[in-house]
Chains A and B, each alone.
Chain A
Amino acid sequence: MSSRDDILASIRANRPKLERPLPSVPLFDADRPASLLAAFQESLERMGGVFLDPPPTGDMLAPVRARIANAKVVCSTVPEISGNRDLAGVRAPQDLADVDFAIVRAAFAVAETGSVLLGERGLGINALAYLAQHLIVLVDPADIVVNLHNAYQRPEFRSDHYCAFHTGPSATADIEGVLIHGAQGVRSLSVLPLPRAPAPH
């Protein structure tokens, strides 16, 4: 017998013969915060993220430009701002090891936890979001869902081969509980609320 058949046979022989119906899970979203964006900001900052306030008028991307002003290598996958490292010319993830700032757009965000979902389509190369020293994420305020129950209704988890919630930067406190940002991945994660550009016709 193959290991597969062995294991399944052993499960069938041993599994408790008990009635255990599968519960369906409510969305727990009756109490919504007045502002999803404000709730998202609060959660993001608790988790070590930086919320970039766009100016009321003028260049919405000014806070992003200020952040990358002194960076050597900037890799952007969003049309709103350009970097100086074109992903089209990158052959392997390892080629991204010298990126200082990556700028990407989140598929959506979660107010409950301050998370942004980054998937293979927004990243181009998945490793970009981890090898870069710093990450800047654009989020359309219309793309914020209230909690994780609503988040898992989204199509990305069924369509993407890879997607991940990022909630603040790479962090650890494995040594004496002292908080470190930039454990192995990005040292900072900043989020700029910015509506998506209308799709070209």
Chain B
Amino acid sequence: MSDPDMLHPELRAPDDSDSITRQGRRLDHAEATSKPLRSRPEPQPRGAKIHGNRPIDQAEAAARFLAAPEHEKMHDERLWDLRQKRDREMHGIPEWEELRSLASAIKEHTLTHLDEYLDQFEANARRNGVHVHWARDAAEHNRIVHGILKDHGAKTLVKSKSMLTEECGFRPYMASVGIEVIETDLGERIQQLDNEDPSHIVVPAVHKLRTDVAEVFSKTIGTDPDNSDVHYLAEAQRESNRPLILAADAGMTGCNFAVAETGGVVVCTNEGNADLSANVPKLHIASIGIEKIIPRLEHLAVFVRLLSRSALGSPITQYTSHFRGPRQGSEMHFVLVDNGRSERLGLDEFWTSLKCIRCGACMNTCPVYRRSGGLSYGATYSGPIGLIIDPTFNARKYSNLPFASTLNGSCSNVCPVKINIHEQIYAWRRELVKQHEVPFVKKAAMKAAGELLSRPAAYRAAIAATNLALGHLPRFVLYNGLNAWGKGRENPRPPRQSFHSWHLANRGDKA
């Protein structure tokens, strides 16, 4: 059975026995695929090699990912499916573009008044009985959390997924001070048990096949190594985590949105694991990036409508949880973390990257990300958003990353908060050329791209031509030495219509 919407029709499963149906309809909510897929076993390619502060060689790791075709195809297919589900949701919301404009405007307003809203958030949180802490950087965040745990004599901590704690190197730090940390999200737990970073900010183990998970679980939680049935693996993880949640001394969550007017935080999960982590132990600590602030509840509605639709093509996450104060007999702590954000606010060309709500839509649509895997970036944030955030943490180590892009602009087109991601990628290339040696081929490609990017109409014409060309040009045109990105990579099938031309055709009258 072939499917014209599939990139790799050979992945289509012969039957759909894993699926769940409701009233005769196959369900594909949360991060589920819209069609049944089946992989064949293959050893898992690993991520980028890290050598201290030396520049990450993303292309080298990507080449190894491409050399594992089952992994590469499944990754490509699943993420493209999420992108298609996202489009389906977008078409169901007439005000979609208005929501994106609102989201962008709300974030830009808040970021330009961030001190005032943080102040308001803190005051309201304290009024609700929450302990509020401030951390300049990752080290201070980790010390503060450790201090809170010590005060409570806590030795074990269950937590939900948080990119901020990944950024802070939280788990290694806690291990070094003798605190046991247990991740409660299935994907994040798989990655923790495999001693591997999350490869995607929303679906952390998307680069793994079911057989990879079976191998990890057989070595760590005692499952049958020959059983890679997904329902069996998920159930085994649930059963192994439940006693750990019940026995934990403390719970931790991240924060998707912090509402200044209520002093509360909002956490979105599909598994309900943030609610378990926060509501079972007597102590709840939430780590909050300072850019997560939004002014009022009416603004929250805009972001909740956009987040899961953009991320997964699901109307909302299964759980959207609002924590405003401790429950009786328990304590709640908020840790507000800067870790370079206030400095990024001062970068003329890059400050709007702080609008990011961590949906991952840019990763799902990115042809480079889909074909090279998130771990090839060797950084906390991968994909297009990673290319423009990572260099602010370490310009040398991540100097190659802004080159892992075709500048096709698809990332900017799907971004729910309208970050001009591809333009910032290009601006980072320019910035890094100023700061570092960048190889000649990359410089030549940049010059051409720069001329195009400076003229929006020409850029759009070029994208239209490229999208046509990707389907028809012979390989040697795309994979010659001058196409820095095409080297070592296959180009994806282009969309039939670019977003911009679609928008003009369908919504032009409203623009």
Contact = CB atoms under 8 A, between A and B. Distances in A.
A183 interface: yes
Interface stretch (A16-24, A62-70, A76-84, A191-199): A16-24
Interface stretch (B320-328, B366-374, B402-410, B478-486): B320-328
- Size category, B interface: 35 or more
Most buried by B among A8, A149, A171, A174: A174
A6 B316 contact: no
Contacts, number: 288
Given A171-B270, A185-B271, A14 B322 contact: no
A50 B21 CA distance: 11
A152 B210 contact: no
Given A47-B315, A174-B185, A28 B95 contact: yes
Contact of A23 (B105, B315, B317): B105
Nearest to B188: A174
A11 B115 contact: yes
B27 A179 contact: yes
Interface residues of A, number: 78
Contacts of B23: 45
A147 B280 CA distance: 30
Contacts of B184: 184
Contact of A3 (B140, B208, B314, B343): B140
A25 B318 contact: no
B37 A177 contact: yes
A2 B134 contact: yes
B297 interface: yes
Contact of A185 (B140, B230, B276, B324): B276
A48 B279 contact: no
Nearest to B243: A97
A15 B338 contact: no
A94 B245 CA distance: 9
Interface in B297-332: 297-302, 304-305, 314-327
A45 to B, nearest CB: 5
Interface stretch (B28-36, B453-461, B487-495, B499-507): B28-36
B156 to A, nearest CB: 13
Contacts of B351: 16
A182 to B, nearest CB: 7
Interface in B343-378: 343-346, 348, 351
A186 interface: yes
Interface string A127-141: 101110000000000
Interface stretch (B106-114, B164-172, B386-394, B427-435): B106-114
Interface stretch (B147-155, B233-241, B413-421, B438-446): B233-241
Contacts of B213: 175
Contacts of B30: 48, 171-173, 179
Contact of B262 (A126, A153, A158): A158
Nearest to B281: A93
A178 B275 contact: no
A7 interface: yes
Contacts of A178: 18, 32-33, 210, 230-231
B105 to A, nearest CB: 5
Contacts of B223: none
B163 interface: no
B20 interface: yes
B327 A46 contact: no
B280 A94 contact: yes
Nearest to A171: B30
Contacts of A127: 275-276, 279-280
B273 A185 contact: yes
Contacts of B95: 26, 28
Contacts of A161: 128, 323-327
B148 to A, nearest CB: 15
A121 to B, nearest CB: 12
Given A161-B326, A174-B185, A7 B314 contact: no
Contacts of A93: 279-280
B411 interface: no
Nearest to A10: B342
A157 B119 contact: no
A4 interface: yes
A47 B280 contact: no
B31 A173 contact: yes
B297 A164 contact: no
Given A18-B112, A174-B204, A183 B280 contact: no
B338 A10 contact: yes
Interface in B93-133: 94-95, 102, 105-106, 108-115, 118-119, 122, 128
B8 interface: no
B31 A177 contact: yes
A12 B27 contact: no
B374 to A, nearest CB: 14
Contacts of B210: 175-176, 178
Interface of A: 2-4, 6-8, 10-18, 20-26, 28, 31, 43, 45-48, 50, 93-94, 97, 112-115, 120, 126-127, 129-131, 147-149, 151-153, 157-158, 160-186
20 contacts: A3-B134, A11-B114, A11-B118, A20-B108, A23-B109, A26-B95, A45-B22, A126-B275, A126-B327, A148-B304, A157-B264, A164-B275, A164-B322, A167-B317, A170-B273, A171-B271, A175-B234, A179-B20, A179-B29, A179-B30
Given A16-B111, A179-B27, 9 more contacts: A11-B342, A20-B109, A48-B30, A152-B298, A158-B297, A164-B275, A170-B271, A176-B37, A179-B29
For the complex of A and B, list the 3 residue pairs with the smallest distance between their C-beta atoms, beginning with the closest: A14-B346, A185-B272, A177-B33
